[in-house]
C-alpha cells in the first residue's frame, strides 16, 4: 500500500473524528449526558461522556464506503461488523444516557459476537483450515470477554483510545508486511486514525469520555477484526492474544482475584492496575504513557516474533501473557486500597 494512501486514510479518519467530537461534546453537555465523580471514579470534574459516538459514525462510514463504493471490504466482513457494532453502539448510547440492566447488555453482547463469528467463519488454525466448533466456541468466549474488558479498562483519561490506536496500527503494520488483503489493512488504519482523532479530546485532562457508546463498539470491532486477521496466513490467534495482552492481563487478573474474594463480576470498582497506578502517581497521562511504552517496547516486538517465527508463537504469547499477569498480580490487581 503506498505511503500516501496510508496517510490519507489515517488523516481523513482522524480529522473527521476530531471535528465531530466537538459537536458530540456540546450535545452531551447540553443534554446532561455527563459523568459525575463518585467514590469509584478516577476523575474529579463533571465531564461529558458518549464521545465514542464520533468514532462510531466515522468507522461505520468507512465500512459502508469500503464495501459499497471502493469494493475493498467483503460482504461477510462488512455485515459482521456493521450488524454487530451498530446495535452495540446504540446499546452503549442508551446506557450512557440512562443506564441499562446488566442482563440486557450481556444478551446483546452474546448475540453480536455469535452473529459476527457466523458471518466471518471464525478463526483459522495454524494450518489454515477451519477450526473445530469447540475451538470456535472458545474464541467466541474470548471475544465476549474482550468486548467487556475494553469497557472495564476505559477508566482513566486516554488509555482506551491509546490502546485502540496501538492495536490497530500494529495489526495494520503486521498484516501489510504479510501481504494481507488491502481492505482489511485499510480498515485497521481507519480505526487507528479515528481513535487518534478522539485521543486529542480524551487525553488528560479529558474534555470528554468515550463512554459505553465507544468502548463497547471498539471492543467488538477490534475483536472481530482480529478474528478476520487470523484468516491471513502468518497472523495467528497467538499474535492476536499478544497484541491485546496489556489490557487482557490487567482485566483478567483483576476479575479473577475479585471473584475469588467474593465480589460480583459486574460490581463497579477501581482496583485495576491502571486505576491503582493513577491514584498512586496522581497522573492519568503518566499511566497511559507507561501502557503505551509497554505496548511499543515489549508487546509489538513479541507480536512481530510470532509472525516471523510462527512455530514459536504459542510460547511467545503464553510467556508474554503470564509475565504481564504476574506483574499485574504483584501490583495489586483486584485489591482495594
Cα–Cα distance, 122 to 120 (Å, whole number): 6
Residue with cell 480498515: 187
Q: Sign of dihedral through CA atoms 63, 68, 74, 75?
A: positive
Contact 194, 16 (CB under 8 A): yes
The per-residue DSSP string of 187-207 comes to HHHHHHHHHHHHHHHHSSSPS
Tell me the three cell numbers of residue 235: 497472523
- Residue ranges of the chain whose pLDDT lies below 50: 126-131
The answer to whether 92 touches 211, Cβ cutoff 8 Å, is yes
What's 38-66 look like in SS3? CCCCCCCCCEECCCHHHHHHHHHHHHHHH
Q: How many CB atoms lie within 10 A of CB 93?
A: 21
Task: Name the residue among 182, 312, 296, 176 with its Cα closest to residue 243.
Answer: 296
* CB within 8 Å of 164: residues ≥ 6 apart: 191, 192, 195, 218, 222
Read off the C-alpha cell for 65.
464506503
Q: How many other CB atoms sit within 10 Å of the CB of residue 71?
A: 9
Among candidate residues 197, 235, 239, the one with its CA nearest the CA of residue 62: 197
Predicted pLDDT at 129: 44
pLDDT tens track for 37-75: 665 656 667 889 999 999 999 999 999 998 888 888 889
* pLDDT given for residue 40 in this prediction: 61
Q: How far apart are CA 154 and CA 156, in angstroms?
A: 6
The whole-number pLDDT of residue 38 equals: 62
pLDDT, residue 126, reads: 40
Q: How far is CA 312 from the centre of its chain?
A: 25
Q: What is the CA radius of gyration of the chain?
A: 19
CA dihedral 55, 56, 57, 62 (to 10 degrees): 90
> What pTM, to 2 d.p., does this model score?
0.93
Query: Around Cβ 247, how many Cβ atoms within 10 Å?
Result: 28
- Tell me: the pLDDT tens digits for 145-203? 999 999 999 989 999 999 999 999 999 999 999 998 888 999 999 999 999 999 999 99
C-alpha–C-alpha distance, residues 284 and 240, integer Å: 27
The span from the CA of 306 to the CA of 313, in Å, is: 4
Instruction: Please state, in angstroms and rounded to a whole number, the distance separating the CA atoms of residues 43 and 48.
Output: 12
Torsion angle of C-alpha atoms 202, 25, 33, 159, degrees rounded to 10: -10
pLDDT score recorded for residue 100: 84
Answer whether the bond into residue 205 is a cis peptide, omega within 30°: yes
Q: Is 15 helix (H, G, I), strand (E, B) or coil?
A: helix
The three cell numbers of residue 268 are 463497579
Residue 119 · residue 247 · CB < 8 Å = no
Residues with Cβ within 8 Å of residue 245, at least 6 apart in sequence: 299, 317, 320, 321, 324
Amino acid at each position: 500500500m503506498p505511503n500516501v494512501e496510508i496517510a490519507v486514510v489515517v488523516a481523513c479518519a482522524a480529522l473527521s473524528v476530531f471535528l465531530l467530537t466537538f459537536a458530540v461534546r456540546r450535545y452531551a453537555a447540553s443534554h446532561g449526558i455527563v459523568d459525575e465523580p463518585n467514590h469509584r471514579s478516577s476523575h474529579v470534574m463533571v465531564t461529558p461522556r458518549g464521545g465514542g459516538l464520533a468514532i462510531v459514525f466515522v468507522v461505520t462510514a468507512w465500512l459502508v464506503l469500503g464495501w459499497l463504493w471502493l469494493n475493498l471490504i467483503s460482504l461477510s466482513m462488512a455485515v459482521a461488523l456493521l450488524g454487530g457494532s451498530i446495535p452495540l453502539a446504540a446499546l452503549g448510547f442508551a446506557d450512557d444516557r440512562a443506564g441499562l440492566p446488566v442482563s440486557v447488555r450481556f444478551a446483546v453482547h452474546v448475540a453480536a459476537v455469535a452473529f459476527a463469528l457466523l458471518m466471518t467463519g471464525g478463526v483459522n488454525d495454524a494450518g489454515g483450515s477451519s477450526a473445530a466448533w469447540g475451538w470456535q466456541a472458545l474464541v467466541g468466549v474470548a471475544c465476549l470477554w474482550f468486548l467487556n474488558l475494553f469497557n472495564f479498562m476505559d477508566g482513566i483519561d486516554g488509555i482506551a483510545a491509546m490502546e485502540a490506536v496501538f492495536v490497530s496500527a500494529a495489526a495494520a503494520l503486521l498484516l501489510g508486511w504479510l501481504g494481507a488483503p488491502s481492505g482489511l489493512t485499510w480498515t485497521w488504519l481507519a480505526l487507528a486514525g479515528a481513535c487518534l482523532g478522539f485521543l486529542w479530546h480524551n487525553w488528560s485532562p479529558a474534555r470528554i469520555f468515550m463512554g459505553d457508546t465507544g468502548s463497547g463498539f471498539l471492543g467488538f470491532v477490534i475483536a472481530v477484526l482480529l478474528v478476520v486477521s487470523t484468516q491471513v496466513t502468518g497472523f495467528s490467534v497467538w499474535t492476536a492474544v499478544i497484541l491485546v495482552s496489556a489490557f487482557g492481563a490487567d482485566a483478567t487478573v483483576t476479575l479473577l482475584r475479585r471473584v475469588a474474594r467474593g465480589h460480583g463480576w459486574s460490581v463497579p470498582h477501581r482496583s485495576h492496575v491502571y486505576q491503582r497506578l493513577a491514584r498512586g502517581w496522581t497522573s492519568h497521562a503518566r499511566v497511559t504513557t507507561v501502557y503505551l511504552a509497554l505496548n511499543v517496547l515489549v508487546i509489538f516486538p513479541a507480536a512481530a516474533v510470532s509472525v516471523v517465527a510462527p512455530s514459536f508463537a504459542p510460547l511467545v504469547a503464553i510467556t508474554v501473557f503470564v509475565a504481564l499477569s504476574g506483574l499485574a498480580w504483584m501490583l495489586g490487581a483486584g485489591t482495594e486500597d
